[in-house]
Amino acid sequence: MTLVSPDAPSRASGAARGAWARMARVPRARFFAGAAAALLVACSGTTGARATTPAQPLSAADVAFLDTLERRTFNFFWETTNPRNGLAPDRWPDPPFSSVAAVGFALTAYPIGVERQYVNRADAAARTLLTLRFLYALPQGADATNVGGAHGFFYHFLDMESGLRYKDVELSSIDTSLLLAGVLFAGQYFDGTGAAETAIRAYADSLYRRVDWRYMLARAPYVSMGWKPESGFISSEWHGYNEAMILYVLALGSPTLPLDTSAWNVYQSTNTWGAFYGYEHVNFAPLFGHQYSHIFVDFRGIQDAYIRGHGLDYFENSRRATLSQRAYAADNPNRWTGYDSSVWGLTAADGPIDTTVTIAGTPRRFFTYAARGAALNEVRDDGTLAPTAAGGSIPFAPNETVAALRAMRDRYGDDLFTRYGFLDAFNPTFATLGIPAKYGRIVPGKAWIGTQYLGIDQGPIIAMIENSRTGLVWNRMRTHPAVIRGLCRMGFSGGWIAGKC
């Protein structure tokens, strides 16, 4: 076994951590594994969608498990969010800064808590109003310091107390979009006539309306991923298919400063369609790309021209992506410990260390925070699995995902499933190597297990559990004029949006 010095920045290296986290979530990641790609050509020769068994009702034990998981995950947002300003931490129990996307997921969690009777409506409304008022009051401008954003966008990470830009992170188009999706959902949910709920709707509307989506068209019609006052627009732009669908829904639906429809057409022009492990779909390797937009938009039965041409909808597309990952794990081409059809799931998550280890004569690259995934166009897999990969896909494949989550809890017990539900990630292979991890801990005989909860990974779990049960987020967002307008301008029709365009 040989160790090679890492060449990626540590997630704890201050400004580099922000850049690395952003880079790890860039579509078409630059870390394509050549050997794995050759393997996939051989494995992916089939076409069409593999036949699947229709979803069966969940058992009483499944439902009880989801009750526990949903409550614990809600508690993460309710208890770790700063009660003075409403900012949710990027991670806990070591919260170095707030993630604005995590704030969006926190705002999504509060109404779920009301419906599940975890908190009363008045307390949830008060927390929501505190958050929106604080965000709206944050200074905006082109300065590098003492601001929270510019042109209506917010910086990726904010100081947990002041709400100002954290170090030199970027003004983020996608993280702002995820924040705003939570903001708009809160505005739709809190529809009462009292002062607090009336104010929530006013702040939600104002935060959304002031975003100048056209500002991110650095190389029009491509939408930039972000901007820094020190260096201008970053080099990365949005190309389909990935988590940015929610960005385009909101940007094309804006009543004030929208994008032109040409932006959506260009975004889709780089979609990768093909079969992976027997499931034909639009490919994107990390599962978060198939989940984030679906938290807020019900894509069941509605289609734009692209997906209509392939005879399915984007919900079915995410189902196929989820099941293809399960099939990949069952095949386990790299022979990682602990992979099977019961325990699986690759997405952006924490990991043990940035280094290369030679195992049985083959170099194996390990990562700390990274966008892991497996698809036709990319494989990035170091043996690290993330519960949010299955948890965020519960509506797409309820039997397979709930079974995976229960198997994770059963196999790793309280070492993985604890105070706020699932810790972020685990790697059974790494625990067998006899080398120290930079982050997390080795549980002898079980796995390397991360010691952190990440807000952007907790959010999909609670939201998608609730969508699978009641459709709460989907149903409220279906009625928002901007969501309808955005989908119509993107060319969606049929299903619940029929007759609304």
Task: Map 383-430 to HEC letters.
Answer: CCECHHHHHCCCCCCHHHHHHHHHHHHHHHHHHCEECCEECCCEECCH
What is the structure's pLDDT at 38? 29
What is the structure's pLDDT at 405? 98
Q: Is the pLDDT of residue 27 over 70?
A: no
What is the structure's pLDDT at 383? 98
What is the structure's pLDDT at 55? 85
What is the structure's pLDDT at 53? 66
> 462 falls in which pLDDT band (50, 70, 90)?
very high
Mean pLDDT for the stretch of residues 109-131: 98
H helix or E strand, kind and range, residue 349 = strand 348-349
CA dist 180 → 100, 174, 312 (Å): 9, 10, 28
The first and second tokens of residue 490, run together, are: 């993107």
Across the chain, what does the average pLDDT equal? 91
Q: Is the pLDDT of residue 281 over 80?
A: yes
pLDDT digits (tens, 9 = 90+) for 161-207: 999 999 999 999 999 999 999 999 999 999 999 999 999 999 999 99
Lowest mean pLDDT among 45-54, 55-64, 270-279: 45-54
Are 391 and 422 in contact by the 8 Å Cβ rule? The answer is yes
What is the structure's pLDDT at 13? 28
Single-letter amino acid code for the residue at 355: T
Q: CA 245 to CA 492: how far, in whole Å? A: 12
Query: Counting runs of H as helices and runs of E as strands, what totals does the chain give?
Result: 17, 23
Q: How far apart are the first and last CA of the chain?
A: 61
> 4 falls in which pLDDT band (50, 70, 90)?
very low
Q: pTM of the full predicted structure?
A: 0.91
Query: What residues are paired with 467 via a beta bridge?
Result: none
CA dist 92 → 74, 95, 156, 424, 456 (Å): 14, 5, 17, 10, 11
Query: What residues are paired with 273 via a beta bridge?
Result: 282
What is the structure's pLDDT at 63? 98
Q: For the chain, what percent of residues have pLDDT higher than 90? A: 88
